[in-house]
Amino acid sequence: MTIHKGRGFACINYPIGMNLGGDPSQALVHSTPDGKFMVALSSIDLGQGMKSVTRQIASETLGVPVEDVYVDTADSDTGPHCMGSFASRGTHRVGNAVIRAAAEARKQMMEAAAEELEVNASDLDTDGAGNIHVKGAPSRSISVAETAIAAQFKQGRTLSGRGIFLIPPSDADPETGEMTPVTCFAHAALVIDLEVDDETGEVEVKEINSAYEVGRALNPKLVEQQLIGGAWMGVSHALYETTEPNYPERDHRPEDFNTYLMPGPGQVVPHNLAVLERPAEDAPFGGKGPGEMCANPVLPAIANAVYNAVGVRCDRLPITPEKVLRGIRANGGARPQGMPG
């Protein structure tokens, strides 16, 4: 029995969102009578942080404290239209819609404040702490709450905004077939170090090193947690999760957590992560969204590392001990490829 070390590399250009029908998302923003703002979306926060990020985006655009912004999601009966939470599109598509909606609400808020302060709206600015003041004269100010009350009870206007983000549909050029289905790519490179036991076929991931370029990390901790957690899911997909084998027949497939393998806290892999920021032009404050690609490059990197360790090329996932052992046997023994670099 020998333990073979292997190293594998994979990189990814990840298209943010999709362009079928323009991939639209809408947002609605309105103020409550006490000067807080409600952002209505139909996108769903699955735990990835959609609510936190859209709240930050709305707060930044409106110029009000983040505590004064509420995000209400996931009721497609009452909310505006959204294509959904998938394809790493949330931050980019929904965020852009929120910027547009919040900008329109801000414009109305500034007009209402201008009427109260008897100045021109273009001379006003927000301080980000809940006040609107005359540029260069901070003492001439009105709070957002007072502005909302005046708008609602005196001026008879709403402070609200509508936003939609739609990618210009791109048709294929009839001559060349060329098209621009995606406007924004994120990138990553990932290295896996692992060990393969040539007697049992077991693969143990020892370390992950990765670099992700996700535009601006609008919430660095959320980005980090998604990349770390997603890499774990990538390891799980690469090595463990399957509804096969169906021995002796399909009726015996795994159907619950008793028999569906996932790595537990004892299999935590050290992950050294570098987040590079290259803000995208058409992204909300430059943020592209880490989304799905947190898991994607892990799988090919593990497959490459297994090949590097024992010379077995697995082209079906997951890379189970059985597949590794069958490969080693077919090759007449383990064939370490040598450590690259």
Give the residue carrying structure tokens 């957690």. 229
One-letter identity of residue 55: R
Q: Min. distance of Cβ 116 from another protein in angstroms?
A: 36
From 45-53, 57-65, 97-105, 124-132, give the range in contact with another protein by CB under 8 A.
45-53
Q: Min. distance of Cβ 221 from another protein in angstroms?
A: 5
323 and 307 Cβ atoms separated by less than 8 Å? no
Q: Min. distance of Cβ 222 from another protein in angstroms?
A: 7
- Residues 229-258 binding another protein (CB under 8 A) are 229-233, 256-258
- Please count the helices (runs of H) and the strands (runs of E) in the chain: 6, 11
User: Binding to another protein by residue 42, rule CB under 8 A?
Assistant: no
Closer residue to another protein in complex, CB, 50/58: 50
Dig out the tokens for 23 from the structure.
Answer: 């991939």
* d(C-alpha 190, C-alpha 195), whole Å: 17
Pattern 86-115, another protein, x by CB under 8 A: ------------------------------
* d(C-alpha 334, C-alpha 286), whole Å: 47
Q: Min. distance of Cβ 27 from another protein in angstroms?
A: 23
Give the residue carrying structure tokens 């774990």. 232
Q: Which of 31, 48, 54, 296 binds another protein (CB under 8 A)?
A: 48
Closer residue to another protein in complex, CB, 161/230: 230
Q: Min. distance of Cβ 207 from another protein in angstroms?
A: 13
- Residues 196-225 binding another protein (CB under 8 A) are 221-222, 224-225
CA 282 to chain centre: 16
Strands 160-165, 185-197: pairing kind: unpaired
Q: Min. distance of Cβ 84 from another protein in angstroms?
A: 16
CA 61 to chain centre: 20
CA 20 to chain centre: 19
What distances in angstroms separate CA 140 from CA 112, 115, 135, 180, 184, one per listed residue?
15, 13, 9, 49, 42
Count the site residues for another protein by CB under 8 A: 24
Residue ranges that bind another protein, judged by CB under 8 A:
46-49, 221-222, 224-226, 228-233, 256-258, 262, 264-266, 268, 271
